Amino acid sequence: MSRKLRSLFILLIGIGLAYWFVSQLEWTVVKVHLQQMRIWPLLVAMMLINLTIVARSLRWQTLLAPITKAAFHNVFAATSIGFGSIFVFGRAGEVVRPVILSLREKVPPSATIATILIERIFDTGTVVTVFALNLLFFSLSTNRADDLTTLGRIHTLGVLMSVGVVAGIIVLVLIRLKAKALISLLERWTKRLPERLTRPLLNLVRHLADGLSVLVNFQELARAVLYSAVVWLLVTASTWLVAQAFGVDFSFSYAVFVMGFGLVGSVVPTPGGSAGAFHKAAQVGLMFLGIESNLAAAIAIIYHLIAFGTPFIIGLFYLVRDGISLTRLREMVAQETAA
């Protein structure tokens, strides 16, 4: 599939998901909820999301340490622009970070692209771990038979996800320790296949092995884990605050639950920061907790703006300061995605 056709396909998916979300709402009711929301919890939530950029920058600086001694202000600028790009281009915008860093630190993007992949592993591992542990002790304020059955399934899912996290960590450690043997084995198994199919797989394993060096350095691993925990603690707190802004007073456990649903939606690589998919996923999570659909939609809309729009503002500041247009940024995304 050509790049233009793939981009069109992703755009159509985004439009379809957004339509699915908006078509089922009573917008007069949603408008009332938006008018009644309190502002101060949203301002605090925005501040916490801004602090996640600081924590992400410190973590990326740790992952970059074996490659280059990057200055924090350069890492912070690249991180801000990269995460701001997600709001415009979807998940593809993350590849902008190595490019922006290369303009400031004179290190080629190819040398740092693996660290972005490792970051995604840390983020996914942290969220899945927190979400799974939360499910193990999750409770609903109900005694209905159907809800209790659902609760039992939730606890089972928590156990399965916990086992999956442990298995995933073991696999990553084995990839790092046995990288050469694994690459040799893959080369033998795939030597009769077309190179255009096997090269991406082999490159992925090589990048993973290089980036996972943090797993065998306890000090660097501890810092990366700590920064990851801080990132998602701040995101969970901002989720809780957004709900508070609408007068929904639920526990931190519920905030973790909704955050997990939102993350599932954010995986869809559509423009606008997974617009449509994120909204629907967050709405479904809120509705499961007993929140009326239109109120859940209003919360999801503001939640999305806080989570993705706030980094965009900071990223836009650096784009203007560095004289980089959105057109140039789009070209960077296209070039690095194609590579």
Instruction: Flag the least confident range among 43-57, 79-93, 103-117, 323-337.
Output: 323-337
Specify whether the CB–CB gap between 304 and 275 falls below 8 A: yes
| 107 SS3 class | coil
pLDDT at 148: 47
* Residue 333's pLDDT band (cuts 50, 70, 90): low
Q: In the chain, what's the furthest Cα-to-Cα distance?
A: 64
Q: Which has the closest alpha carbon to 96: 77, 117, 78?
A: 78
Specify whether the CB–CB gap between 90 and 269 falls below 8 A: yes
Mean pLDDT of the residues in the chain: 79
> Taking each helix axis from N to C terminus, what angle separates 218-245 and 40-64, rounded to the nearest 10 degrees?
170
pLDDT at 145: 43
pLDDT at 82: 85
pLDDT at 335: 66
Q: What are phi and psi of 96, to 5 degrees?
A: -65, -30
Stronger pLDDT, 214 or 248, i.e. the higher one: 248
Share of the chain above pLDDT 70, in %: 77
Q: Indicate if the pLDDT at residue 231 is higher than 80.
A: yes
d(CA 176, CA 258): 33
d(CA 237, CA 130): 13
Question: Which CA distances in Å does 217 have to 62, 169, 222, 281?
Answer: 11, 15, 9, 37
Assigned token pair, 235: 């995101």
d(CA 297, CA 313): 23
* Residue 216's pLDDT band (cuts 50, 70, 90): low
d(CA 148, CA 162): 21
Question: Which CA distances in Å does 115 have to 50, 84, 184, 280?
Answer: 21, 18, 23, 30
Residue pLDDT, tens place only, 127-150: 888 887 787 777 665 544 455 465
d(CA 273, CA 304): 8
d(CA 153, CA 151): 5
> Taking each helix axis from N to C terminus, what angle separates 277-288 and 293-304, rounded to the nearest 10 degrees?
130
